[in-house]
Amino acid sequence: MKIFVTVKRVPDPNAAIKVKPDGSGIVTDNLKYVVNPFDEIAIEEALRLKDKGGGAEVVLVSIGAKVASEQLRTGLAMGADRAILVLAEQELDSLAAARIFHKLVNDEKVDLVLMGKQAIDDDANQTGQMLAALLGWPQATFASKVESLDSEAEKQGVPGIVLADGKAKVIREVDGGLETLELPLPAVVTVDLRLNTPRYASLPGIMKARKKELKEIPIDSLGIDVKPRLKVIKLDPPPKRQAGRKVGSVQELVQVLHNEAKVI
């Protein structure tokens, strides 16, 4: 069993993001970068499948500048076995990323690809579905589980995705409820917030991670078309919402909503 987990280096979700005055991007000075939070959940799920299911190899894959190796090291410190970084300085769209992952998956015999449902920088929510299409594999997006993140099963590190008989059973968060799908492996699964709470890297984990394999592949050596089909022309700050006013009491609030805003 081999599980690929994709890892994207993104700005810290708690950082205040500002658009550059010329609209060419965001201000990156002093910006802290982290593993995309959804990808952390994907790593955790892969490690649980490995721990409970017996002997999977968990391989992290990322695309980006050399600094993205920091995020791969974080994943290795959590417990992944090895990592691959496709070195790319240019802007890539989701389709280009999917094409790169497609090539990497085809080069190794992969049974399951786990990915975050979206990256919190471009918020596109596309790459997993695109990769599944290119591979011709079934997909399940927004993997979740019935048990809460406070449950006993969660405390014991039970995976939400069930692998058995060459199939993956996945519970998905969809509009109005939870859907259960069964996919024959190999398959692509993207994960949602409620699937698990990712572990922290332990100190021994961090020490071990330094010695784990992190292979770098220049993007040009892959020989695939990575010209972006989606071009970001410019960024603007969002329209500012004016702060309104404070009201003194509940009575006043209900009165203004009724008489002034006329919404109740």
Partner 1 sequence: MGNVLVFAEHQHHKFTKTTLVAVTAGKDAAAKSGGECYAAVLGKGVDDLANEIAEYGAKKVFVVDDAALEHYTADAHAAVLAQLMKDKGIETLVATATAVGKDLLPRVAALLGAGMASEVVSFNADGTMSRPMYAGNAVATVAIEGTQKVVSVRATAFDPAAKGGKGEPEKVSASIDDAATRTRFVSFNEIKSDRPVLTEARIVISGGRALKSGENFKTVLEPLVDAMGAAMGASRAAVDAGFVPNDLQVGQTGKVVAPELYIAVGISGAIQHLAGMKDSKIIVAINKDEEAPIFQVADYGLVADLFKAVPEMKDEVEKLKH
Instruction: Considering only residues 31 through 50, tell me which ones interact with partner 1, judged by CB under 8 A.
Output: 38
Amino acid occupying residue 255 = Q
Residue 100 makes contact with partner 1 by CB under 8 A:
no
Q: Does 17 bind partner 1 (CB under 8 A)?
A: yes
Q: How far is CA 1 from CA 18, 50, 102, in A?
A: 43, 9, 18
> Contacts with partner 1 in 145-164 (CB under 8 A)?
148-150
Query: In the complex, what is the shortest distance from the CB of residue 105 to partner 1, in angstroms, rounded to a whole number?
Result: 14
Nearer to partner 1, 211 or 231 (CB): 231
Two tokens, residue 233: 């022309």
Please state whether beta strands 177-184 and 167-174 pair in parallel, antiparallel, or not at all (unpaired): antiparallel
CA atoms of 84 and 113, how far apart (whole Å): 14
Can you tell me the distance from the alpha carbon of 82 to that of 20, in angstroms, rounded to the nearest whole number?
A: 36
One residue of 51, 81, 111, 122 binding partner 1 per CB under 8 A:
122
95 binds partner 1 (CB under 8 A): yes
Q: Shortest approach of partner 1 to residue 38 CB, angstroms? A: 8
Q: Name which of residues 53 to 92 contact partner 1 (CB under 8 A).
A: none
Task: Provide, rounded to whole angstroms, the least separation between the CB of residue 230 and partner 1.
Answer: 4
Q: Does 126 bind partner 1 (CB under 8 A)?
A: yes
Q: Which is nearer to partner 1, 51 or 111 (CB)?
A: 111
Cα atoms found within 13 Å of the Cα of residue 89, Cβ hemisphere only: 0
Q: Which of residues 234-263 bind partner 1 (CB under 8 A)?
A: 234-239, 241, 243-247, 249-251, 253-254, 256-258, 261, 263
Q: Which two tokens stand for residue 239?
A: 């329209």
Number of residues that bind partner 1 (CB under 8 A): 86
Could you say which of 36, 71, 74, 127 contacts partner 1 (CB under 8 A)? 127
Residue with tokens 């890297």: 201
CB of 89 or CB of 123, closer to partner 1: 123
Binding residue (CB under 8 A) for partner 1 from 192, 196, 198, 226? 192
| Cα torsion angle, 11, 17, 23, 29, sign | negative
* Dihedral angle over CA of 208, 211, 212, 214, nearest 10: 140
- Judge whether 87 and 216 are in contact, CB under 8 Å: yes
